[in-house]
Amino acid sequence: MSMGSLIAFIAGFVVVIGSIMSATDKPMAFIDIPSIIIVVGGTFVASFISYEAKNAVAGLKMALSTFRKHKDSENSLKDEVGRIVRWAYIIQKNGLQGLENEVTDDLRNENAFLAYGADLVVTGYTGAEIKQILEHMLESQAERNKRMTDVLMKLGGDAPAFGMLGTLIGLIIMLGNMAGDPSAIGPSMAVALVTTFYGIILARIVFIPMATKAAARNDVTLFKNNLQMEGLVLLAERKSPRYIQDKINSFVDTREQFLIDRDMNNTPAQ
């Protein structure tokens, strides 16, 4: 669980609800079931019309994933450098058979991209061939991730639009009843505006922040995968461990770089 995401999400609603409670003695005026149905229902219906169902569902799953702790981070890059350097020593000592032994089921579950790339090295592809294959793989993954974040951004764009639709419906109903009691106009107008309120809340506290965070996480994972790809290419080219260390350390902040003489005993086992 990503506590930062969860706390921020809850805090966003606390700020809004707290402001309402402090500004009025009639907070229930902000609760309107038809308005909720129009905004939430309309927003999701529009998403499923705009995208294939599997892509829309994948986008919603990505939204939920923003509340889980992200396994990839800038701090994990040092470990990836160490892992690849250790593999270079294993290849020096035991050949490609030694690397094949490192590609365990646990690694495949933990990091499918790295395991797949290691399989390519073991198979005997050249560095250039491995780079071409993995680049295509990363491009495809980036496109899939973009479709999912696009779903969330569309939800964020549609929510205020359906909020306005609900407001227009409320205004039409209100104007149709103007021949009656004039004192009812104020409450009717308030109900009409609540729908816009819901749309903005959904867009600015829920969907757009989730899309932004998901995109940022995808960028971090892509960056790590590029580091891994560079290391795998160097393994295929049989570069020395120290050369590999120096080359892929260029991806890492200088304060977090892996150094063989200092960190070799702390590299991950897989």
User: What is the per-residue pLDDT for 183?
Assistant: 66
Convert the pLDDT of each residue in 7-26 to its tens digit.
999 999 999 999 999 998 88
Q: Would residue 114 count as lying in a domain?
A: yes
Counted domains in the chain: 1
User: What is the per-residue pLDDT for 171?
Assistant: 87
Q: Which residues contact 237 (CB under 8 A, 6 or more apart)?
A: 126, 127
Convert the pLDDT of each residue in 157-201 to its tens digit.
999 999 999 999 888 888 877 766 666 676 677 778 899 999 999
Both structure tokens of 89: 């020593």
User: What is the per-residue pLDDT for 214?
Assistant: 94
C-alpha distances in angstroms, 179 versus 6, 175, 184? 48, 8, 10
Residues in the chain where the model's pLDDT stays below 70: 1, 73-75, 179-184, 186-187, 266-270
Q: Would residue 26 count as lying in a domain?
A: no
User: What is the per-residue pLDDT for 152?
Assistant: 96
Q: Would residue 220 count as lying in a domain?
A: yes
Convert the pLDDT of each residue in 250-260 to its tens digit.
999 988 899 99
| DSSP secondary structure, 197-256, as one string | HHHHHIIIIIIHHHHHHHHHHHHHHHHHHHHHHHHHHHHHTT--HHHHHHHHGGGS-GGG
- 3-state SS of 14-39 is HHHHHHHHHHCCCHHHHCCHHHHHHH
Domain that holds residue 258: 34-66+77-262
User: What is the per-residue pLDDT for 184?
Assistant: 64
How far is 224 from 75, CA to CA, in rounded Å? 10
Nearest C-alpha neighbor of 56 from the set 142, 151, 149: 151
| DSSP secondary structure, 48-63, as one string | HHHS-HHHHHHHHHHH
Both structure tokens of 140: 């495809």
Q: Would residue 86 count as lying in a domain?
A: yes
Q: Would residue 250 count as lying in a domain?
A: yes
Q: Would residue 23 count as lying in a domain?
A: no
Count Cβ atoms within 10 A of the Cβ of residue 253 and give its class: 0-12 exposed, 13-18 middle, 19 or more buried.
Answer: exposed
Q: Would residue 81 count as lying in a domain?
A: yes
User: What is the per-residue pLDDT for 209?
Assistant: 95
Amino acid identity for residue 249 in this structure: N
How far is 166 from 43, CA to CA, in rounded Å? 12
User: What is the per-residue pLDDT for 116?
Assistant: 97
Q: Would residue 21 count as lying in a domain?
A: no
CB-CB contact of 207 with 152 (8 Å): yes
